[in-house]
Amino acid sequence: ARYHEGETVTLYVCENGYISINPPLTVARLGSLSTRTTHPVFLRHVQQIVDAAGLRLRIENPYQHKTKGEMVAGCADQSLLKAEAASSTSCGRYKVYGYRHCGRCVPCQVRRAAFLAWGVADKTDYVFKDLGRDDPDYAGFDDVRSAAMAIAEVKMEGLDNWLGATLSSVPPDDVAPLTAMVGRGLAEIAALHRKYGVK
């Protein structure tokens, strides 16, 4: 109704900042370029198309500077979130595993790390529950190893060196807050890895 009355309305595209930026965990992870539909640069270009079309619509990701752990901890309706969180979907291989979370892909690691940071028991039914296991049943994905390598590289070389040119396309005034958010997101994953003894 507000739009028809001449007002500009906001379209909220809600995604945690870490997944939105989707930093490549290692130099070999070019696939990180394929899932950036909530990246601030992509949203800025969509906004330009919307503006050129003369639509009174503002596109906004209110969680651009928040990790998933910060998102869930800051949710206004904690009781509803606690009741429904395990039934939400994050997994990049959800269909592959019969509509179950794999537990090892990057979105699953971010999800599991968010539950840990939130301090709420994760009741999600993961196919691969123990991230620290190293056996044939748990082989086949490099996501846990890649995240561990990223964590180690940040520890040795620093966050800015690890990020490299990842944030080179965002507006200059957004680089510092996005860098800080990515660091906090990776720290959430590092805490998850410590819990499971990932080396």
Q: Please report the pLDDT score of residue 66 as a whole number.
A: 98
- For the whole model, what pTM was predicted? 0.92
Q: Please report the pLDDT score of residue 34 as a whole number.
A: 57
If you search the block for the tokens 């196919």, which residue do you land on?
127
Q: Which residues contact 66 (CB under 8 A, 6 or more apart)?
A: 16, 17, 74, 181
Q: Please report the pLDDT score of residue 139 as a whole number.
A: 66
Mean pLDDT by 10 residues, the chain (199 residues): 91 96 83 73 96 98 98 98 96 94 95 98 95 76 90 97 93 96 98 95
Q: Give me the amino acid identity at 175.
A: V
Angle, vertex CA 81, rays to CA 77 and CA 82, nearest 5: 115
